[in-house]
Structure 1
Amino acid sequence: MQFTTIGAAIVDIVVSRVRPMRGAKQDVEHIGLYAGGGAVNAALNVAAHGARVAVHACVGRDLEGGLIRDLLQRHGIQAQIPDHRLPTGKAVVMVDDSGAARAYAQRGASAWVGESGFPGLAHADVVYVTGLSLESQAWLQRSLAPRTARPFKLVVTPGARQLSDPAALHGLWDEADLLCVNAREAARLCGDNGPQTDEPSADVAERLARHLVRRPGQAILVTLGAAGALFFDGAQGHHHPALRVEALSTIGAGDAFASAFVHAWAGGADPQSALAAATESAARVIQVIPANLAGPLRA
């Protein structure tokens, strides 16, 4: 299977076991430098599952951009990553004792994915779109062939900027074969006045998923945190519970879940098998500090 991911390639500076500050300095358990961003996290995950992978992203002409390219090359991933005059994007990720994470992001070059186009999409079996700037989203929409002529499944996992402007997202949302969101994002896109929770019931999740369908044949994946996930195939919902594991960090869990689901689903797995594969993938990632299993960036 040829998998193409599109989105951010950034450096994550992860600080773990952060507690409320007392004074001007606080000792922490760990500070590490890792590759991150939705396109990179998804690419590393599906490559580990055996897919051939290409990444469309954008980094700066700097040390950090070179480290990201080197890591992808070591994992056999083709990098369609031009240099940009802006620096490589970075995020400082603060992880507390419960594993909950907060990120402070400088988008940098990652906001300019696709400025020079998206070559090679016609050779993909799956095009997996992660969070994009609105400029990058517009460039991608112009590059996509009409749905009737498209050789690949289009999967959209929107980011914060796209979710902040649902009207702008409609173009990709309409075109997607599969839309992947969490429960809060689903409620926001629906304009739903129901329960604002990360862990709604499967019935509530299916109701949200039905509202999200924009055309016949479109499928919806809604992750529900500790309550598992709901896949709506266009006709019925399929719920799968989460695995109970100790979470060291929640960063990257959504990328790990959605990309593993898509790899299995696009490969012909039935919904429950695809959900089970995704659940195991997310459980592995939340048991490590970074957003993926590739280890730290290094020269």
Structure 2
Amino acid sequence: MQFTTIGAAVVDIVVSRVQPMRAAKQDVEHIGLYAGGGAVNAALNVAARGVHVTVHACVGHDLEGDLLRDLLRRHGIQTAIADHALPTGKAVVMVDETGAARAYAQRGASAWVGEQGFPGLEAADVVYVTGLSLESQAWLEQALARLTVSRHRLAVTPGARQLADPQALRGLWDRADLLCVNAREAARLCDDGSLDTDAPSPEIARDLARRLLRRPGQSVLVTLGQGGALFHDGGQGHFHPARIVEPLSTIGAGDAFASAFVHAWASGAAPQAALTAATESAARVIQGIPANLAGPLRT
């Protein structure tokens, strides 16, 4: 299988065990420098399963960009990562004592993936799309439309900018074989303002997933946080409960879940088997501080 991820490659500066600020300076348990971004997190997760992976991303011509490329290569991942005049994207991630994470992002070069095209896209068996700027999304739609043979399966996990403009997302949404969203995102795309929880019942998730289907043959994955996840294969919904573990950090949980599910789903696994693999993947990642299991960035 040739697995291709498309999206952000950034440097995560993770500050853990943050407490409410009581003074101008606060001691914290840990500050670390890690690889991050949806395309990188998904690629590392899938490569650890022995899959041949290529990352399409964009970084600055700087030390941070070199560190990201080096880490991916050390994990056996091919890179189609362009340089940009803007600096490599960065995110400062604050993790509190419960493991809940908040991120402050400077997207930088990561918002320009695809400006120079997507070389080798035609060879992909799976195209896994993470959060994109609207410019990058338009470039990707053009690249997909130019493919003379579309043998790939397209999985789309939209980001904040795409979710803020559902009409702009329509092109990728219609084309996707699998749409991956969390419950609140699903409600937003359904223009349903009644949802007030991250973990609705399986029945509510099933209804949301069914409403998100845009064409025959399409599937939808809705994650429910601690409530588990629901996969709708276009005919019926398949629910799987979450595995309850003590989280060190929730950052990267969505990437770990969705990428593991997509790999299993594209490999032909039954829905419950794919959901189980995804659940175990997310449980492993949230028991660590960074958004993936690659360890800290270093030369």
Instruction: Find runs of 4+ consecutive structure 1 residues off by over 2 angstroms.
Output: 145-149, 193-196
Residues 12 and 171 of structure 1: CA distance in aligned 2, closer, same or farther (over 3 Å): same
Matched, 1:141 2:138: no
TM, length-normalised to structure 1: 0.99
SS in structure 1 at match of 2:145 = coil
Contact 1:9 1:59 in 2 (8 A): yes
How far is the alpha carbon of 1:145 from its aligned partner?
3.4
How far is the alpha carbon of 1:182 from its aligned partner?
0.2
Residues 201 and 148 of structure 1: CA distance in aligned 2, closer, same or farther (over 3 Å): farther
Structure 2 matches for 1:284-299, cutoff 5 A?
284-299=284-299
1:110 corresponding residue in structure 2: 110
- 1:66-107: CA deviations, max 9, x gaps? 000000000000000011100000000000000000000000
CA RMSD of aligned residues (A): 1.0
Matched, 1:61 2:61: yes
Aligned equivalents of 2:51 and 2:124: distance in 1?
11
- 1:91-150: CA deviations, max 9, x gaps? 000000000000000000000000010111111110000000000000000000379941
Give aligned pairs, total.
Answer: 299
- The residue type equivalent to 1:16 in the other structure is S
1:7 corresponding residue in structure 2: 7
How far is the alpha carbon of 1:193 from its aligned partner?
3.2
How far is the alpha carbon of 1:30 from its aligned partner?
0.2
- The residue type equivalent to 2:199 in the other structure is E
Contact 1:187 1:196 in 2 (8 A): no
Aligned equivalents of 2:228 and 2:280: distance in 1?
11
Aligned equivalents of 1:43 and 1:193: distance in 2?
34
Residues 240 and 148 of structure 1: CA distance in aligned 2, closer, same or farther (over 3 Å): farther
Contact 1:198 1:224 in 2 (8 A): yes
Identity of aligned residues (%): 79
Higher mean alpha-carbon deviation, 131-140 vs 116-125, is at 116-125
2:229 corresponding residue in structure 1: 229
1:19 corresponding residue in structure 2: 19
Aligned equivalents of 1:126 and 1:169: distance in 2?
19
Aligned equivalents of 1:272 and 1:45: distance in 2?
19
Matched, 1:167 2:173: no
Aligned equivalents of 1:89 and 1:156: distance in 2?
21
Aligned equivalents of 2:255 and 2:148: distance in 1?
28
Aligned equivalents of 2:45 and 2:193: distance in 1?
35
Contact 2:252 2:285 in 1 (8 A): yes
Aligned equivalents of 1:193 and 1:229: distance in 2?
20
Aligned equivalents of 1:99 and 1:252: distance in 2?
12
TM, length-normalised to structure 2: 0.99
Contact 2:99 2:250 in 1 (8 A): yes
1:250 corresponding residue in structure 2: 250
Structure 2 matches for 1:78-97, cutoff 5 A?
78-97=78-97
Aligned equivalents of 1:186 and 1:86: distance in 2?
33
